[in-house]
């Protein structure tokens, strides 16, 4: 049964996670007395709810007490080894989000559950302070916004990301932030203070300048124009900021690569990078369902190009080309990106955050006694 777009949500369905012991699939046949109901409430109670989403599924936020907060990875194609995520799930509802499959580990759907059933690690600042204070801790760059957006809408009320930044400030610890939210401008005074000590970098995610496409792909994220204004505000405050052009989707927004890079450079971005659309696990089905609903005439062409850039598959997790793809079309993207960066002056400066200033507050006071 084809899903129906829901205002303010990216997913069209809420199918069970891949770990569910039992799954249900609904279909309409000649024996069904219901047909496609104009009002979902007219369907019987036993009709599978995952294919009849509410008109406006509410957002619920649960509290999670984290036992640890710094995650580590050894992926050779990722420019950081440590990351911190304050939230599970993300209300921005980006249909392409590669973090969606992580909700399956909570026995929830990577579909609508991912963007409506959120978890907030309310003790994250305390746990971070404890981990940074360990005697054997070696300071190195920590990234925020690597899984879910640290400035998604619930951050306005909960302020967990702001509290985490205060811990980094307290410890003189380097941190980078990736977001597509203009809420980051709320913390400009703190970010500027970190920037003066070369302890912070910000990346604004911006895949398209087309407001309508952005609204459909990222229903609760800031508009493209607002994100460019955030770039300007951060640069004016002295915060080094770059733009992540992501995701690049063939036949949908890949023609905007140069326009986004130019707009970013004009707004003050220092550098830029791009990532080809990734469709791991459940994301592939969710994205194709979205594509059929919003761009049915382009759907087959988009997916054919994606497979051509992924070695014939919908997704290729190989570290060597999972971010950029392979094949002729991928090579053309790489060449176009290199040329526009040379033309705009993007990526001419290399910024390395300072790890030498790291100092746990308590340790500093103890040394002062001698």
Q: Which residues lie below 8 Å from residue 117, measured CB to CB, with a gap of 6+?
A: 60, 62, 89, 103, 108
Q: In this structure, what DSSP letter does residue 57 have?
A: P
Residue 117 pairs with which residues in a beta bridge? 60
| SS3 (DSSP) at 189 | helix
The tens place of each residue's pLDDT in the chain, 370 residues long, gives 457 899 999 999 998 777 766 566 555 555 544 444 445 445 444 444 444 445 678 999 999 999 999 999 888 878 888 999 999 999 999 999 999 999 999 999 999 999 999 999 999 999 999 999 999 999 999 999 999 999 999 999 999 999 999 999 999 999 999 999 999 999 999 999 999 999 999 999 999 999 999 999 999 999 999 999 999 999 999 999 999 999 999 999 999 999 999 999 999 999 999 999 999 999 999 999 999 999 999 999 999 999 999 999 999 888 888 899 999 999 999 999 999 999 999 999 888 999 999 999 866 544 444 4
118 Rama class: left (phi>0) / alpha (psi -120 to 50) / beta:
beta
Report the distance separating Cα 64 and Cα 118, nearest Å.
10
Rg (CA), the chain: 22
Q: Residue 26: its pLDDT value, please?
A: 56
What domains does the chain contain, in order, with CATH numbers?
40-347 (3.80.30.30)
* Residue whose structure tokens are 């936020």: 61
Residue-wise over 204-222: b if at least 16 C-beta within 10 A, else e?
A: bbbbbbeeebbebbbbbbb
- Which residues, in sequence order, are bridge partners of residue 273? 244
What are the distances in angstroms from CA 195 to CA 17, 126, 203, 225, 233? 41, 23, 14, 24, 14
Judged on CB neighbours under 10 Å (0-12, 13-18, 19+), 332 is: exposed
Q: Measuring CA to CA, which residue among 272, 253, 247 is closest to residue 262?
A: 272
Distance CA 184, CA 204 (A): 10
pTM, whole model, 2 decimals? 0.87
Three-class secondary structure of residue 83 per DSSP: strand
d(CA 81, CA 72): 5
Dist. CA 105–CA 117, nearest whole Å: 13
CA–CA–CA angle 309, 310, 316 (5° rounding): 150
What one-character DSSP code corresponds to residue 43?
S
Q: Which of 219, 90, 195 is nearest to 150 (CA)?
A: 90
Nearest to 293 by CA among 211, 219, 220, 216: 216
Structure tokens, 235: 């640069």
pLDDT of residue 52: 45
**pLDDT of the residue at 265:** 98
Q: Map tokens 């000649």 to a residue.
A: 30
Helix (H) or strand (E) holding 117: strand 117-121
Question: Is residue 149 within 8 Å of residue 174, measured between CB atoms?
Answer: no
Q: Which residues pair with 274 in a beta bridge?
A: 245
């Amino acid at each position: 049964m084809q899903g129906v777009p829901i205002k303010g949500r990216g997913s069209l369905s809420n199918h069970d996670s891949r770990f569910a012991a039992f799954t249900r699939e609904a279909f309409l046949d000649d024996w069904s007395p219901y047909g496609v109901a104009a009002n979902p409430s007219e369907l019987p109670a036993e009709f599978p709810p995952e294919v009849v989403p509410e008109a406006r599924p509410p957002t619920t936020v649960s509290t999670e007490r984290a036992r640890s907060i710094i995650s580590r990875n050894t992926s050779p194609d990722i420019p950081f080894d440590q990351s911190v995520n304050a939230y599970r799930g993300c209300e921005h509802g980006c249909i392409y989000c590669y973090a969606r499959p992580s909700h399956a580990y909570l026995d929830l759907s990577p579909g609508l559950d991912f963007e409506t059933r959120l978890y907030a690690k309310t003790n994250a600042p305390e746990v971070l302070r404890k981990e940074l204070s360990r005697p054997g801790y070696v300071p190195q760059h920590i990234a925020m916004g690597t899984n879910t957006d640290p400035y998604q809408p619930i951050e306005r009320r909960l302020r967990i990301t702001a509290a985490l930044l205060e811990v980094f400030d307290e410890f003189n610890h380097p941190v980078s932030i990736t977001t597509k939210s203009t809420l980051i401008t709320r913390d400009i005074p703190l970010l500027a203070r970190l920037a003066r000590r070369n302890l912070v970098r910000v990346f604004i995610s911006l895949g398209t300048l087309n407001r309508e496409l952005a609204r459909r792909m990222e229903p609760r994220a800031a508009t493209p124009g607002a994100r460019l204004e955030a770039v300007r505000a951060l640069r004016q405050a002295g915060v080094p900021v770059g733009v992540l052009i992501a995701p690049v989707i063939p036949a949908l927004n890949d023609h905007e690569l140069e326009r986004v890079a130019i707009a970013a450079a004009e707004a003050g971005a220092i550098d830029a990078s791009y990532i080809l659309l990734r469709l791991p696990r459940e994301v592939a089905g969710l994205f194709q369902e979205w594509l059929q609903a919003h761009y049915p005439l382009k759907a087959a062409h988009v997916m054919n190009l994606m497979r051509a850039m992924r070695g014939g598959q919908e997704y290729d997790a190989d570290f060597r080309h999972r971010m950029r793809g392979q094949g002729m079309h991928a090579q053309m993207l790489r060449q176009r990106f290199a040329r526009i960066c040379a033309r705009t002056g993007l990526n001419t400066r290399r910024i390395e955050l300072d790890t030498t200033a790291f100092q746990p507050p308590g340790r500093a006071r103890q040394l002062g006694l001698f």
